[in-house]
Amino acid sequence: MPKAMNLLFLPGDGIGPEVMAEVRRVADWLAANRGLSFAITHGLVGGASYDAHGTPLTDDTMAQAMDADAVLLGAVGGPKWDSLDFSLKPERGLLRLRKDMDLFANLRPAVVFEALAEASTLKTDLVAGLDIMIVRELTGGVYFGEPRGIESLPDGSRRGVNTQVYTTAEIHRVARVAFDIARRRGNRVVSVEKSNVMESGLLWRQEVQALRDSEYTDIDLSHMYADNCAMQLVRNPKQFDVIVTDNLFGDMLSDEAAMLTGSLGMLPSASLGKGDANGRRRALYEPVHGSAPDIAGQGLANPLATILSFAMLLRYSFALGVEADWIEQAAARVLAKNLRTADILQPGATQVSTSGMGDAVLLELDALRPRAAKQG
Ligand code: NAD
């Protein structure tokens, strides 16, 4: 009997529980058909946790997240909790998870499924087959650097300060994640900064290069200024394999790349922390979208972003590349058959509900199974 994977599922608010229910079915399918063993615990986060316990994340749930091999989260938030004090807002639960788990590397794939290429605002031939991975540093840089604040000046005006700061260790650990991921893909990394105008950017460039030269000589590394990268992403996005960049530039470039792909309902993400002595890394997986209160409870939500986040969980927390590939292929095949949830509906396509999309993914997994068995 294989050791059970210890997972914490936090469905959260709005469409979170609906899309997570479809992941559960995929996990059950893998358990039944691939002999995988999942020990799944469910917890509350966000508004759901506030309603039950008066806090968006209890210490018990936080402790469970620290103990889990991986955490999968749906989404948090909604108008019901908008008037709460800042410290009690649903988002605080998610921020605490990210902070206490020290998740320093944010992985945002931008993948265009062939069948959805026409939904992009860019020309189809520019984006068809696009597959970029953006690795964003998540716990350092200008969002956290000191000194920071707003001060009053003697002449009565004010001064606002934020500090962009990175150390060698912070740069190396996120660059290492990018290089390791590139080894499983096309072996190419573009490191992005503004070393022409920022000393922290120059350090970033030098340290990424030094790590590559000492430990990753097989990686094809190049460097690009962030403003040029923003342009290249819309001019010729397929030139990129893996992009690694800091917190601020990564925030913008990952959203820009996401928009190349068409819909929020399709975008997964992962946030990784440090590895422990056993090689286990803290990790949180979640769709990029929010809790979509406008469509919650109506069977309209697209579960693919969360199902694809689960595929990332299998790939990055458990090195289950075959199973992750299957889920991604199943999603592509469903789309190729013109089955769509409302958010990605196109003329001539058939609309399916949230659970209808889950059904379709399971059918495609069934279809992939004998083929893979034959391949041996
Ligand atoms: P949103 O992502 O929830 O929704 C934006 C639009 O996209 C809506 O029209 C929604 O219906 C649609 N949409 C999003 N996901 C979809 C899916 N899977 N299938 C079909 N349609 C989908 O963003 P918002 O409306 O700005 O925020 C709603 C709530 O979610 C707010 O409380 C916000 O704070 C919260 N939020 C949470 C997260 C998170 O949990 N990580 C991220 C963003 C927003």
Mean pLDDT of 128-137: 96
* Catalytic (active site) residue 143: yes
Tell me how far the alpha carbon of residue 49 lies from the centroid of ligand 1, in angstroms. 18
What is the predicted pLDDT for the residue at 372?
57
The total number of structural domains in the chain stands at: 2
Domain presence at residue 124: no
Phi, then psi, of 190 in degrees rounded to 5: -110, 120
Regarding the beta carbon of 296 and ligand 1, being less than 6 Å apart is answered: no
- On whether both 135 and 256 belong to a single domain, the answer is yes
Q: Residue 172 CA to chain centroid, in angstroms?
A: 20
- On whether both 267 and 250 belong to a single domain, the answer is no
Domain presence at residue 126: no
Query: How far is Cα 19 from Cα 356, in angstroms, rounded to an integer?
Result: 11
Closest CA to 142 of 9, 45, 250: 250
Tokens (6 digits) for 218? 């097989």
Mean pLDDT of 119-135: 92
Q: What is the pLDDT of residues 234-259, one digit of tens each?
A: 999 999 999 999 999 999 999 999 98
Percentage of the residues of the chain whose pLDDT score is greater than 90: 89
Q: Measured from the CA of 303, which atom of ligand 1 is nearest?
A: 18
Q: Which of 226, 260, 294 is the last residue of a domain?
A: 260
Count other Cβ atoms within 10 Å, centred on residue 279.
6
The band of 33, judged by pLDDT with boundaries at 50, 70 and 90, is: very high
- On whether both 92 and 187 belong to a single domain, the answer is no
- On whether both 252 and 283 belong to a single domain, the answer is no
Q: Helix, strand or coil for residue 111?
A: strand
Regarding the beta carbon of 94 and ligand 1, being less than 6 Å apart is answered: yes
- On whether both 199 and 268 belong to a single domain, the answer is no
What is the predicted pLDDT for the residue at 355?
98
Domain presence at residue 81: yes
- On whether both 86 and 43 belong to a single domain, the answer is yes
Domain presence at residue 220: yes
Strand pairing report for 281-287 and 70-75 = parallel
The band of 376, judged by pLDDT with boundaries at 50, 70 and 90, is: very low
Count other Cβ atoms within 10 Å, centred on residue 126.
16
The answer to whether 22 touches 354, Cβ cutoff 8 Å, is: yes
What is the predicted pLDDT for the residue at 2?
67
- On whether both 223 and 143 belong to a single domain, the answer is yes
Domain presence at residue 32: yes
Q: Which of 260, 281, 308 is the last residue of a domain?
A: 260
Q: Which of 239, 260, 281 is the last residue of a domain?
A: 260
What burial class does residue 222 get, using C-beta atoms within 10 Å of its C-beta: 0-12 exposed, 13-18 middle, 19+ buried?
A: exposed
Residue with tokens 């979170």: 16
What is the predicted pLDDT for the residue at 121?
86
Regarding the beta carbon of 178 and ligand 1, being less than 6 Å apart is answered: no
Q: How high does pLDDT run on average in the chain?
A: 95
More confident of the two residues 277 and 306: 306
With the most atoms of ligand 1 within 8 angstroms of its CB, the residue from 269, 285, 289, 353 to mutate is 289
Q: Which residues pair with 375 in a beta bridge?
A: none
pLDDT reading at 81 higher than 70:
yes
Domain containing residue 327: CATH number: 3.40.718.10
The band of 119, judged by pLDDT with boundaries at 50, 70 and 90, is: confident
Domain that holds residue 225: 131-260
What is the predicted pLDDT for the residue at 3?
83
